[in-house]
């Protein structure tokens, strides 16, 4: 599949992108190309600028320099991109169904079409029976699945995911990782996935982008890009899985920690 | 303490107070000309109702209250929300707000009379001032306190435009605070009604002044209790509506 995708136009490209705060870069020289249906995982120590980069790629933040090319929506009833956040960020005053419909409003769909679309994606994350519940009555994992359904319901070309499972307990996280693997077969979206969990990155992605600091460099940059040539199903039992995780862990560990500024990303950007 | 027990004790306290009041007067410990017997209040109320005075006064006061409340609340919410959303507008009127805020509504009575005369409009105007400030500050703080994550969410899902964001994120997110302000304004406005009518505008306040000049203290007490009872009803109805609107809260 990867070989086929390489021949198609990327859905998202970043050229020499720098991001930071108040004109000071935290991360620079980022080049990326995301193929249709690909999944790039961005990993790195906290404070390295992962979430900030994700927001610049999505267009929620303007990069300090460089260029990001995102697709516009390919169809009238879809969006070019959408996002899953670290916290579910469900609107507490909307029932679950209406939360999933949030991004669909403004796409010119009829009420009926919106309801059907919400139903389809709630079904996909296994929460259709919760459609009429208020968000507060759902568990953290269920809320995050609603957030995922909301992001997928707009049928984006690119889905940005900002440490979406990091706030969940280990069992729920494992379950949601498995659902994401399954969901990838049912969506045409390419995914950019930010995580600090290397194993998660190796489990889900086709390509891992490692962010870190070069020796004596105060600004982080892309330290390595690692392709993950494993079949998506049951990666954990693949003999190549563990060595790959260790390889990436090693890359992050060897980044000189002393030069990293105290976490410069404000809670607004990382939350 | 169970709820029933608590209610029983509270009712006992109230009854005890009325009883002590009645007995002190009957024993001649308080001058009967200055304080009415509580036991005659119901008959005085019935008389006021039979004469149609009570209804006329209540309706009249409600009109002042309703208009003042509507005006003060809507303006307060609009200006408060706008101030929280628009930094330029906020800066522009910040000192003006600080200057006007401490002036009590009743201090506007001279201008109310000069501008509107002894009319219901004047009473509504005075009521609206206190209500305005409460709603203004409540709405402002409520919008200010919205989690910025919601705004990012709106941007990420194509709802970041001024109107979609206002109606789908800002107002619902600020609703608990705005409704809290409305409720406080409901109380503040009602307190102002009587004062706003004291200078001769038909209503509960005017009737009380009239009665006091005739030393009809029983009539005064009837309207004092009317004020308390009507407010309890207004507040209870509002709480029901508030609960309905905020039913999404855990």
Size of interface A-B (CB pairs under 8 A): 61
Q: Are B167 and B70 in a shared domain?
A: yes
Could you tell me the CA-to-CA distances from B135 to A49, A245, B80, B124, B131 in Å, in that order? 41, 56, 7, 16, 6
Q: What is the pTM of this model?
A: 0.86
Q: How many angstroms separate the CA of residue A104 from the nearest CA in chain B?
A: 8
Cβ contact, residue pair A102, B248, below 8 Å: no
Q: Are B17 and B49 in a shared domain?
A: no
CA atoms within 13 A on the CB side of B68: 35
Residue A267 has pLDDT above 50, yes or no: no
Q: How far is A110 from A97, CA to CA, in rounded Å?
A: 15
> DSSP character for A220?
B
Cβ–Cβ under 8 Å, residues A192 and A12: yes
Per-residue pLDDT of chain B (250 residues; tens, 9 = 90+): 788 999 999 999 999 999 999 999 999 888 878 889 999 999 999 999 999 999 999 999 999 999 999 999 999 999 999 999 999 999 999 999 999 999 999 999 999 999 999 999 999 999 999 999 999 999 999 999 999 999 999 999 999 999 999 999 999 999 999 999 999 999 999 999 988 898 889 999 999 999 999 989 999 999 999 999 999 999 999 999 999 999 999 8
Q: Are B115 and B237 in a shared domain?
A: yes
pLDDT at B128: 96
- Which residues 160-179 in chain A show a CB within 8 A of chain B? 160
Helix (H) or strand (E) holding A207: strand A207-212
Cβ contact, residue pair B149, A83, below 8 Å: no
Q: Are B4 and B60 in a shared domain?
A: no
Instruction: State the burial class of residue A99 (Cβ atoms within 10 Å of its Cβ: 0-12, 13-18, 19+).
Output: buried
Q: How far is A81 from A94, CA to CA, in rounded Å?
A: 22
Please give the average per-residue pLDDT across A143-171, as a whole number.
Answer: 93
Nearest to B71 by CA among B139, B143, B121: B121
CA-based angle A204:A152:A15, to the nearest 5?
A: 65
Chain B residues with CB under 8 Å of A91 CB are: 150, 153, 168-169, 172-173
Q: Are B134 and B225 in a shared domain?
A: yes
Q: Are B103 and B223 in a shared domain?
A: yes
Nearest to A177 by CA among A253, A236, A131: A236
Nearest CA in chain A to B248: A93
Nearest to A177 by CA among A155, A161, A189, A156: A161
CATH number of the CATH domain containing B81: 1.10.3720.10
Q: Are B211 and B231 in a shared domain?
A: yes
Q: Are B154 and B51 in a shared domain?
A: yes
Q: How far is A178 from A176, CA to CA, in rounded Å?
A: 5
Q: Is A84 on the interface with B (CB under 8 A)?
A: no
Q: How many domains does chain B fold into?
A: 2
Nearest CA in chain B to A94: B248
Residue A269 has pLDDT above 70, yes or no: no
Confidence band for A128, pLDDT divided at 50, 70 and 90: very high
Q: How far is A38 from A34, CA to CA, in rounded Å?
A: 6
Q: How far is A179 from A73, CA to CA, in rounded Å?
A: 25
Q: How far is B216 from B26, CA to CA, in rounded Å?
A: 18
H helices of chain B, where? Answer: 3-26, 41-50, 53-85, 87-100, 109-116, 120-144, 148-156, 162-165, 171-197, 204-213, 217-245
Could you tell me the CA-to-CA distances from A18 to A69, A251, A253, B242 in Å, in that order? 14, 21, 23, 48
Cβ contact, residue pair A150, B158, below 8 Å: no
Chain B residues with CB under 8 Å of A150 CB are: 157
Q: Are B25 and B106 in a shared domain?
A: no
Q: How far is A194 from A201, CA to CA, in rounded Å?
A: 8
Buried b (16+ CB within 10 A) or exposed e, B14-32: eeeeeeebeeebeeeeeee
Nearest CA in chain A to B146: A91
Domain that holds residue B6: 1-30
Cβ–Cβ under 8 Å, residues B192 and B106: yes
Nearest to B67 by CA among B119, B9, B139, B142: B119
Q: Are B89 and B156 in a shared domain?
A: yes
Could you tell me the CA-to-CA distances from B63 to A234, B190, B201 in Å, in that order? 72, 11, 12
Place of tokens 């002590």: B20
Q: How many angstroms separate the CA of residue A136 from the nearest CA in chain B?
A: 6
Q: How many CB atoms lie within 10 A of CB A198?
A: 21
**What does the pLDDT look like over B176-226, one tens digit per residue?**
999 999 999 999 999 999 888 988 899 999 999 999 999 899 999 999 999
Chain B residues with CB under 8 Å of A154 CB are: 157-158
Three-class SS of residue A34? strand
Q: Are B119 and B98 in a shared domain?
A: yes
Cβ contact, residue pair B156, A154, below 8 Å: no
Q: Are B116 and B57 in a shared domain?
A: yes
Taking the alpha carbons of A164, A168, A169, A171 in that order, is the dihedral positive or negative? negative
Q: Which of A82, A87, A154 is closest, CB to CB, to B149?
A: A87
Buried b (16+ CB within 10 A) or exposed e, A24-54: ebbbbbbebbbbbbbbbbbbbbebbbbbbbb
């Amino acid at each position: 599949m990867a070989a086929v995708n390489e021949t198609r136009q990327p859905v998202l490209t970043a050229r020499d992108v720098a991001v930071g705060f108040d004109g000071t870069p935290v991360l620079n020289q980022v080049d990326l190309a995301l193929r249709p249906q690909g999944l790039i995982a961005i990993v790195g120590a906290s404070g390295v600028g992962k979430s900030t980069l994700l927001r610049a790629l999505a267009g929620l933040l303007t990069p300090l320099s460089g260029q990001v090319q995102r697709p516009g929506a390919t169809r009238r009833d879809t969006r070019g991109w959408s996002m899953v956040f670290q916290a579910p960020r469900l609107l507490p005053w909307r029932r679950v169904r209406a939360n999933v419909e949030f991004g669909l409003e403004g796409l010119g769909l009829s009420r009926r079409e919106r309801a059907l679309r919400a139903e389809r994606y709630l079904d996909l994350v296994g929460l259709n029976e919760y459609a009429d519940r208020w968000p507060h009555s759902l568990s953290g994992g269920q809320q995050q699945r609603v957030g995922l359904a909301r992001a997928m319901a707009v049928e984006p070309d690119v889905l940005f995911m900002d440490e979406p499972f990091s706030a969940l307990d280990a069992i729920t996280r494992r379950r949601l990782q498995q659902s994401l693997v399954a969901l990838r077969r049912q969506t045409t979206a390419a995914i950019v996935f930010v995580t600090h969990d290397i194993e998660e990155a190796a489990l889900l992605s086709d390509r891992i982008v490692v962010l870190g600091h070069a020796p004596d460099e105060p600004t982080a940059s892309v330290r390595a890009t690692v392709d993950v040539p494993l079949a998506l199903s049951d990666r954990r039992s693949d003999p190549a899985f563990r060595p790959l995780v260790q390889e990436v862990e090693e890359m992050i560990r060897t980044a000189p920690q002393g030069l990293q500024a105290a976490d410069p990303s404000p809670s607004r950007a990382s939350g | 303490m169970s709820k029933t027990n608590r209610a029983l004790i509270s009712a006992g306290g109230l009854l005890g107070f009325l009883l002590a009041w009645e007995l002190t007067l009957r024993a001649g410990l308080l001058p009967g000309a200055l304080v009415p017997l509580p036991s005659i209040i119901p008959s005085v109320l019935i008389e006021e109702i039979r004469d149609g005075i009570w209804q006329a006064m209540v309706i009249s006061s409600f009109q002042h209250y309703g208009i003042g409340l509507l005006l003060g609340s809507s303006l307060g919410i609009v200006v408060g929300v706008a101030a929280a959303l628009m930094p330029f507008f906020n800066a522009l009127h910040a000192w003006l707000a600080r200057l006007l805020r401490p002036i009590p509504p009743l201090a506007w009575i001279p201008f109310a009379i000069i501008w509107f005369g002894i009319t219901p409009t004047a009473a509504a105007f005075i009521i609206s001032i206190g209500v305005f400030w409460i709603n203004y500050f409540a709405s402002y703080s409520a919008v200010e306190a919205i989690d910025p994550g919601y705004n990012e969410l709106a941007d990420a899902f194509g709802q970041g435009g001024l109107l979609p964001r206002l109606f789908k994120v800002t107002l619902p997110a600020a609703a608990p605070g705005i409704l809290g302000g409305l409720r406080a304004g409901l109380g503040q406005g009602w307190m102002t009604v009587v004062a706003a009518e004291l200078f001769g505008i038909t209503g509960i306040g005017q009737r009380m002044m009239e009665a006091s000049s005739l030393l009809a203290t029983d009539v005064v007490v009837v309207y004092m209790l009317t004020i308390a009872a009507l407010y309890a009803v207004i507040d209870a109805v509002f709480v029901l509506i508030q609960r309905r609107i905020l039913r999404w809260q855990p």
